[in-house]
Amino acid sequence: MTENNKEKKKKFHLKDLFNRPSKPYANPYLGGVLLGMVLFASYFITGNGLGASGGLSRIAAFIEDLIAPGHIDQVPYLITMAGGQLNPLDSWIVIVTAGVLIGGFTSGVIHGRTKFETNKGPNISNQTRWLFAFLGGILFTYGARLARGCTSGQALSGGATLSAGSWVVMFSIFGGAYALAYFVRRLWN
């Protein structure tokens, strides 16, 4: 349904789609209530919480499998996802990831926030922002694999189900970020 609508809009009003006036974001508490309800619905219906880094890691395994299929079968961590005939994309978490992309895009279009731009602190160039985004991405997913989940899969989902380890991960994430924040304040202020 939404796919079709988008196609039509793209064909006929491509410019309008990306040049709509940006609306402000929702009230954070309202957003939190809605996010909590989505999280609950996920557990209630499927028994599983939300996740994001799992999807990313399977996409990475898929790319690696395309480039070096023989190598996959020698790395124990990758075998479970993409070893032999396994398709790393054939997992519910990859489908959730696809849904996140479509949902984010849809909301961005509706609220006029889907546009090419770089958001950054006022005192750095776009290139610096991109470099640090890239480095941050490497660190974040590396840590997420080590901790078996990121802010979605561990902190949010595990937090709501009262997993002890997830609360430890949550405080470690916030602790790490607050600890380093002062030293990299130029990036954002």
Site for another protein in 141-180 (CB under 8 A): 141-180
Find the binder of another protein among 65, 97, 125, 186 (CB under 8 A): 97
| Residue 2: strand, helix, or coil | helix
Contacts of 26 (CB under 8 A, 6+ apart): 34
Residues near another protein (CB under 8 A), total: 130
Provide, rounded to whole angstroms, the least separation between the CB of residue 182 and another protein. 9
Tell me how far apart the alpha carbons of residues 99 and 11 are, in angstroms, rounded to a whole number. Answer: 22
Check binding of 37 to another protein (CB under 8 A). Answer: yes
Provide, rounded to whole angstroms, the least separation between the CB of residue 187 and another protein. 7
- Which of 62, 148, 146, 139 is CA-nearest to residue 98? 62
Q: Give residue 94's identity as a one-letter amino acid code.
A: V
Check binding of 187 to another protein (CB under 8 A). Answer: yes
Find the binder of another protein among 69, 92, 125, 186 (CB under 8 A): 92
